[in-house]
A and B are shown apart, each in its own frame.
Chain A
């Protein structure tokens, strides 16, 4: 070595760069993230893509030309360019796009407005408002659409007329009762909590001095909003936009209930149909088109952000948040918000809770109240002898499994999201960073069922160092983490982007290792975002069903798979009891997170 001639400067620089890259934890994290994503997402997606170009034995059902095992473009041409395409693909795509865009826009208005109110004004009852904002998300979205029908149902679909019709004798027109309008509204109500949390976290960590400085320099309030606040919020807003767009485009329950009566189909409902009719390849083609749409959306997102992508709002300097005084609007604003949110959040909840105590649904006479559905024994006259939920022998097992899955998955997902977010934020000008960012978004587009089906094959046998996970709880945790990546990585990335690199540089100068930096600096500073990711994933995991139903074995039964049985039997009250238990658990976890997440959380999420 010693005798080695001095390298020329070019080589030296190159070598330095390599060494630098190896030593920089950013690249290690990025590489790990890419490996993880490659195995858990890219590989399943490639499987999907591959399957759409090959004939299967099943395809003899579609055309006699099928030649199993050989390559074909038939599936794509059938979806994109046949006499079926308009009804099967283009119309549903247009519907999906219009729903997606409108829902994102509406949620943005709801979510940002609420976030601003809670974090930047002196409105009272902040904690209550924050809490209420989460409730719609706790309820399954189809339940909100059911509530919509209770009010706006007209005579088209028969049954008990909606309240508007029966009480006020106003017949709501079809467009108000079914299809586009109600789908958009219920989805917006359900999902705007994402906006609220993402933007709320960003707003609360933004230093008011920026605004004050601008005001001192003579900027008007609108100007401050437009030139300072909005650009700073842009990354979070766009993250939220994409997130909700994708969620809306791929939602199934709501469009199925509100869309079918008026023939309003979206790609997701078509996809579900292909799946159920065992036209697996058609389903795969449809889900790939969904993926293409997202990629396009993400691309536009990046275009919009351009180079201005990140603004640092956490700088390490003292950040005093001054609240905008609402003056005489203070009380009306609080009252209006609370009342409005109570109407969409609390009323459906109370109706459901009440229902669990009613022996026969709909009658409020005193002798109709019962605890049977909660804790009653077997009574042949009620639900053909089905016991109350708490008496169900598998209830305890299911409860335990649900808690383990949601608990571990949410912590893991939040931390992984933060790490990947670090790779995205710090590596934002590298191909690696962008790749992590984009790949992490895919899981929303692989239908839960297909992902689960592929996971059975991938994890049924040990591969390399990965043991056979099928049949264990681990695989359910894994798939939950993967499925929530789009959200957690976005949240983690948005949080990381706001933390100035000079803080880390200072720590490096101070001799802190990367791990110390992460633990002492990044983690505490992004705690708010971390906690909101944790809570949302926890809720999602507690509610998840479609994704895990294929991976569940009798020993890994969860609370939601328990309801599957109740729903099928039409035991409404029992279903609602389980739902109430799930909600109670989530609320408890939320309360704990608020308590132990301490000051920062309350500050970010409202309160003093």
Chain B
């Protein structure tokens, strides 16, 4: 405004080339800076609370939040009847879910328990963390039920431990629940799937891969596909787990090649595996569906890394594929669909009732479980019959160690990026 000193307000020099006057164009930036600093000062006054990112807020509210969590967890003893009475008064349940299965469960729930309306918001797991953190920091407690996948341990570290997501397991159902989901894991998972190798059933009569190291042999040069772990962290979690359990990987190497593994400038057998995979011409595609399209649409001798749950889409998509459920040293690491109560849920009874419904109620026969008990996914309840040929107990999986993954994952990601 300072140099607006042309004669009249309507700036007149429209025709005349003003030449050097434009040297002023950059001071605009300076003005922005000044304005910026001023704003920054005013803003520091009104709220220190973390604004960008999620993070720093987690330290503060932890104390108060934790106690709320404790009460919620402790009260896993209500009967469904009592919950229903209470829930009818509350009127509705708000669900944030990463999975569309919640919508299916909500529909049957509303039939079973008239008078309660379930509203489902679909959000990706990482965005949900930001959303809930921001909401709760601003004093808004919107969701009741959280259905989410892990993001390399971040859900446990940033949401569960600070008490934003609260573990809930009804007492009468707990004994039927398989470990680690009964006591060890961060919460109860209503289903789990995992990343594994798929092959084309027209080309191969039986599984062409029995050991992860098979993928590094000349036989599979340029014939291994994976969804991009840089954009889907769940894929990175598998590789990170291999790094964490590099001893297993080294042992499997010895079993396959009959000699000790030789590291080529890498830290351990896990990293070595990633590097050799790249050296063998690993092809990275955008998503899991792209991988299965690549190997399953036409006869193909290639194999690909995709989500076990995708087998349920086989008919729809016209893929000729099968997943491999037994690979050495371990097939994979579980990717669990956790059920949580949200901190300070506005409709606690309805929330608990809905979680019970999705768990299949006491006898594990409830209709609410149907969407979760599919081929390619497992329900970790001893009294629920799986649709897969392999039972959950017999799956040869690494344990998902949230805390270790959380701290190891960025390093493995860096290593991955550097391979490019």
Q: Is B233 an interface residue (CB 8 A)?
A: yes
Q: B70: shortest Cβ distance to chain A, in Å?
A: 22
Q: Mark contacts of B115-136 with chain A using CB atoms, 8 A cut-off: 1 yes-contact digit, 0 otherwise.
A: 0000111111011011100110
Report yes or no: B300 in contact with A280, Cβ–Cβ below 8 A.
no
Report yes or no: B6 in contact with A429, Cβ–Cβ below 8 A.
yes
Q: Is A306 an interface residue (CB 8 A)?
A: yes
Report yes or no: A471 in contact with B142, Cβ–Cβ below 8 A.
yes
Report yes or no: A553 in contact with B121, Cβ–Cβ below 8 A.
yes
Q: Mark contacts of A232-245 with chain B using CB atoms, 8 A cut-off: 1 yes-contact digit, 0 otherwise.
A: 00000000000000
Task: Give the nearest-CB partner of A298 in chain B.
Answer: B25
Interface centre among B24, B52, B409 (most CB of A within 10 A): B52
Report yes or no: A265 in contact with B420, Cβ–Cβ below 8 A.
yes
Report yes or no: B22 in contact with A570, Cβ–Cβ below 8 A.
no
Report yes or no: A21 in contact with B407, Cβ–Cβ below 8 A.
no
Which one of B51, B283, B297 contacts A160 once the chains associate, using CB atoms below 8 Å?
B297
Question: B300 — which chain A residues lie within 8 A by C-beta?
Answer: 158-159
Question: A367 — which chain B residues lie within 8 A by C-beta?
Answer: none
Report yes or no: B126 in contact with A278, Cβ–Cβ below 8 A.
yes
* Complex CA–CA separation, A432 to B28 (angstroms): 8
Q: Is A555 an interface residue (CB 8 A)?
A: yes
Which one of B1, B8, B134 contacts A430 once the chains associate, using CB atoms below 8 Å?
B1
Question: B230 — which chain A residues lie within 8 A by C-beta?
Answer: 265, 269-270, 273, 277
Question: A430 — which chain B residues lie within 8 A by C-beta?
Answer: 1, 3-4, 11
Report yes or no: B52 in contact with A284, Cβ–Cβ below 8 A.
yes
Report yes or no: A159 in contact with B9, Cβ–Cβ below 8 A.
no
Question: B126 — which chain A residues lie within 8 A by C-beta?
Answer: 275-278
Q: Is A519 an interface residue (CB 8 A)?
A: no
Q: Is B316 an interface residue (CB 8 A)?
A: yes
Report yes or no: A435 in contact with B31, Cβ–Cβ below 8 A.
yes
Q: Is B12 an interface residue (CB 8 A)?
A: yes
Q: Which of B35-43, B346-354, B392-400 contacts A (4 or more CB under 8 A)?
A: B35-43
* Contact of A260 with B318 at beta-carbon distance under 8 Å, contacts A27-B1, A307-B21, A461-B139 already known: no
Q: A81: shortest Cβ distance to chain B, in Å?
A: 15
* Complex CA–CA separation, A505 to B48 (angstroms): 49
Report yes or no: A454 in contact with B51, Cβ–Cβ below 8 A.
yes
Q: B295: shortest Cβ distance to chain A, in Å?
A: 6
* Complex CA–CA separation, A312 to B10 (angstroms): 14
* Contact of A280 with B54 at beta-carbon distance under 8 Å, contacts A20-B9, A273-B231, A426-B11 already known: yes
Report yes or no: A307 in contact with B233, Cβ–Cβ below 8 A.
no
Q: Which of A60-68, A342-350, A472-480 contacts B (4 or more CB under 8 A)?
A: A60-68
Q: Which of A47-55, A198-206, A597-605 contacts B (4 or more CB under 8 A)?
A: A47-55
In this complex, how many residues of chain B approach chain A with their Cβ under 8 Å: the count is 108
Report yes or no: B51 in contact with A457, Cβ–Cβ below 8 A.
yes
Q: Is A156 an interface residue (CB 8 A)?
A: yes
Q: Which of B206-214, B265-273, B410-418 contacts A (4 or more CB under 8 A)?
A: B410-418
Report yes or no: A570 in contact with B129, Cβ–Cβ below 8 A.
no
Q: Is A177 an interface residue (CB 8 A)?
A: no
Q: A430: shortest Cβ distance to chain B, in Å?
A: 5
Of residues 1 to 33 in B, which have CB atoms within 8 Å of A's CB atoms?
1-6, 8-22, 24-29, 31-32
* Contact of A550 with B52 at beta-carbon distance under 8 Å, contacts A61-B409, A157-B283 already known: no
Q: A70: shortest Cβ distance to chain B, in Å?
A: 11
Task: Give the nearest-CB partner of B294 in chain A.
Answer: A158
Interface centre among A47, A384, A461, A557 (most CB of B within 10 A): A384
Q: Is B284 an interface residue (CB 8 A)?
A: yes
Main secondary structure of the interface of A (DSSP, over half): helix
Report yes or no: A58 in contact with B103, Cβ–Cβ below 8 A.
no
Report yes or no: B316 in contact with A58, Cβ–Cβ below 8 A.
no
Q: A228: shortest Cβ distance to chain B, in Å?
A: 15
Question: B139 — which chain A residues lie within 8 A by C-beta?
Answer: 460-461
Q: Is B178 an interface residue (CB 8 A)?
A: no
* Complex CA–CA separation, A66 to B322 (angstroms): 45
Q: A16: shortest Cβ distance to chain B, in Å?
A: 10
In this complex, how many residues of chain A approach chain B with their Cβ under 8 Å: the count is 111
Report yes or no: B11 in contact with A42, Cβ–Cβ below 8 A.
no
Question: B134 — which chain A residues lie within 8 A by C-beta?
Answer: 453, 456-457, 460
Question: B233 — which chain A residues lie within 8 A by C-beta?
Answer: 276-278
Q: Is B90 an interface residue (CB 8 A)?
A: no
Q: Mark contacts of A159-177 with chain B using CB atoms, 8 A cut-off: 1 yes-contact digit, 0 otherwise.
A: 1110000000000000000
* Contact of A61 with B11 at beta-carbon distance under 8 Å, contacts A87-B420, A157-B290, A460-B134 already known: no
* Complex CA–CA separation, A17 to B59 (angstroms): 53
Of residues 417 to 470 in A, which have CB atoms within 8 Å of B's CB atoms?
426-432, 434-435, 438-439, 449-450, 453-454, 456-458, 460-461, 463, 470
* Complex CA–CA separation, A449 to B130 (angstroms): 10
* Complex CA–CA separation, A558 to B26 (angstroms): 41
Report yes or no: B11 in contact with A280, Cβ–Cβ below 8 A.
no
Interface centre among B5, B51, B119 (most CB of A within 10 A): B51
Q: A148: shortest Cβ distance to chain B, in Å?
A: 14
* Complex CA–CA separation, A585 to B95 (angstroms): 30
Report yes or no: A47 in contact with B127, Cβ–Cβ below 8 A.
no
Q: A355: shortest Cβ distance to chain B, in Å?
A: 13
* Complex CA–CA separation, A385 to B312 (angstroms): 13
Report yes or no: A306 in contact with B119, Cβ–Cβ below 8 A.
no
* Contact of A306 with B22 at beta-carbon distance under 8 Å, contacts A426-B11, A431-B1, A431-B2 already known: yes
* Complex CA–CA separation, A265 to B417 (angstroms): 10
Report yes or no: A42 in contact with B39, Cβ–Cβ below 8 A.
yes
* Complex CA–CA separation, A505 to B14 (angstroms): 13
Of residues 227 to 281 in A, which have CB atoms within 8 Å of B's CB atoms?
256-257, 260-261, 263, 265, 269-270, 272-273, 275-281
Q: Which of B81-89, B150-158, B163-171, B380-388 contacts A (4 or more CB under 8 A)?
A: B150-158
Which one of A21, A281, A307 contacts B22 once the chains associate, using CB atoms below 8 Å?
A307
Of residues 311 to 369 in A, which have CB atoms within 8 Å of B's CB atoms?
312, 360-362
Q: Is A131 an interface residue (CB 8 A)?
A: no
Which one of A47, A61, A263, A456 contacts B131 once the chains associate, using CB atoms below 8 Å?
A456
Interface centre among A457, A471, A561 (most CB of B within 10 A): A457
Report yes or no: A470 in contact with B138, Cβ–Cβ below 8 A.
yes
Question: A91 — which chain B residues lie within 8 A by C-beta?
Answer: 420
Q: Is B94 an interface residue (CB 8 A)?
A: yes
Q: Mark contacts of B204-242 with chain A using CB atoms, 8 A cut-off: 1 yes-contact digit, 0 otherwise.
A: 000000000000000000000100101111001000000
Report yes or no: A360 in contact with B284, Cβ–Cβ below 8 A.
no
Report yes or no: B32 in contact with A278, Cβ–Cβ below 8 A.
no
Q: B117: shortest Cβ distance to chain A, in Å?
A: 9
Question: A471 — which chain B residues lie within 8 A by C-beta?
Answer: 140, 142
Task: Give the nearest-CB partner of A88 in chain B.
Answer: B417
Q: A65: shortest Cβ distance to chain B, in Å?
A: 14
Q: Is A510 an interface residue (CB 8 A)?
A: no
* Complex CA–CA separation, A316 to B9 (angstroms): 21
10 contacts between A and B (CB under 8 A): A87-B418, A156-B283, A280-B54, A307-B19, A362-B318, A383-B316, A426-B10, A429-B18, A438-B32, A561-B122
- With A269-B230, A456-B131, A550-B127 given, can you name 9 additional A-B contacts, CB distance below 8 Å? A61-B410, A157-B285, A159-B296, A263-B284, A263-B420, A273-B230, A383-B316, A430-B1, A570-B289
Question: Which 9 pairs across A and B sit closest by C-beta, in order of nearness?
Answer: A460-B138, A24-B9, A554-B119, A158-B294, A51-B52, A307-B18, A280-B53, A56-B55, A456-B134
Residues on A lying within 8 angstroms of B by beta carbon are 17, 20-21, 23-24, 26-27, 30, 34, 38, 42-43, 46-48, 50-51, 54, 56-58, 60-62, 68-69, 83-84, 87-88, 91, 156-161, 256-257, 260-261, 263, 265, 269-270, 272-273, 275-281, 284, 295, 299, 302-303, 306-308, 310, 312, 360-362, 383-385, 426-432, 434-435, 438-439, 449-450, 453-454, 456-458, 460-461, 463, 470-471, 500-501, 504-505, 508, 549-550, 552-555, 557, 561, 564-565, 568-570
